[in-house]
């Protein structure tokens, strides 16, 4: 990061580090124009850092392989480790995954919220996302901004950090770890939980908790 410029364009504050742009935005009432701009980045195969209810994530349009590959590169993440998806609404799950009655009942209770639910993927999902497996993790965060960002197409949902390092709690810390690997950061301050989502696998005979995180106690009430 050799250069840094702060300037105003209209009423928006822009911070550019090389080719990366940071835009201030409100998670509860996100500016539609900024969301539209972020979606245009994603449609071009670019990466967008965005807040969820748990931690900041890295978004790519899941249907653009170039963008998905950049997610792995930016995080220095092995392609043998799958990525989860962020969706805007419950109805969108049927486009990407299969749900039995038990899974459908569970997600209706958990979403939107700080959970990742693993399901059987549908054919439309690239094996690049799933590390060659037939499973895909689904998120619908309790965060309007992230749901708005995923309203036209599913986006990747993986923490905005270098694999194996601590998850940054703020956009400033994201930049310290990832540098200018992303093209746009949507800065909404500190996330609600500041902790990874709880992950539950619903593809086995019984639900299996893969990772304890935000919302774990709530999950246990249902399973």
Tokens of 171: 């956009």
Rounded CA-CA distance 193/215 in Å is 9
- Per-residue model confidence as pLDDT tens digits over 48-76: 999 999 999 999 999 999 999 999 999 99
CB 138 within 8 A of CB 155: no
Q: What angle do CA 112, 130, 205 make, to 5 degrees?
A: 70
Backbone angles phi, psi at 16, to 5 degrees: -110, 130
More reliable by pLDDT, 168 or 96: 96
Tokens of 137: 């993790």
Greatest alpha-carbon pair distance for the chain in Å reads 56
Rounded CA-CA distance 118/202 in Å is 6
Q: What is the DSSP letter of 141?
A: -
pTM above 0.85, yes or no: yes
User: Which stretches within 61-189 are classed as H helix?
Assistant: 65-75, 93-96, 101-110, 127-130, 144-149, 171-178
Confidence class of residue 169 from pLDDT cuts 50, 70 and 90? confident
Predicted pLDDT at 53: 96
CB 50 within 8 A of CB 145: yes
- Per-residue model confidence as pLDDT tens digits over 29-48: 999 999 999 999 999 999 99
Strands of 48-51's sheet in order across: 4-9, 12-17, 20-24, 184-187, 48-51, 56-59
pLDDT at 193 over 60: yes
């Amino acid at each position: 990061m050799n250069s840094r410029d702060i300037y105003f364009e209209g009423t928006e504050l822009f911070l550019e580090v090389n080719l990366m742009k940071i835009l201030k935005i409100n998670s509860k009432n996100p500016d539609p124009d900024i969301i539209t701009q972020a979606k245009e980045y994603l449609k071009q195969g670019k990466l967008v850092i965005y807040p969820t209810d748990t931690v900041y994530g890295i978004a790519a349009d899941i249907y653009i392989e170039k963008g998905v590959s950049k997610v792995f590169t930016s995080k220095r993440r092995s392609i043998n480790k799958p990525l989860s998806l962020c969706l805007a609404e419950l109805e969108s799950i049927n486009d990407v995954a299969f749900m039995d009655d038990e899974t459908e009942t569970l997600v209706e209770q958990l979403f939107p919220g700080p959970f990742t639910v693993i399901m059987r993927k549908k054919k439309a999902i690239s094996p690049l996302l799933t590390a060659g497996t037939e499973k895909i993790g689904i998120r619908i965060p309790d965060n309007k901004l992230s749901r708005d960002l995923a309203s036209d197409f599913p986006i990747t949902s993986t923490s905005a950090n270098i694999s194996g390092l601590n998850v940054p709690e703020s956009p400033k810390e994201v930049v310290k770890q990832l540098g200018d690997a992303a093209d746009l950061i949507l800065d909404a301050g500190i996330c609600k939980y500041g902790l990874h989502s709880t992950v539950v696998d619903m593809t086995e005979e019984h639900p299996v908790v893969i990772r304890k995180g935000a919302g774990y106690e709530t999950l246990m009430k249902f399973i």
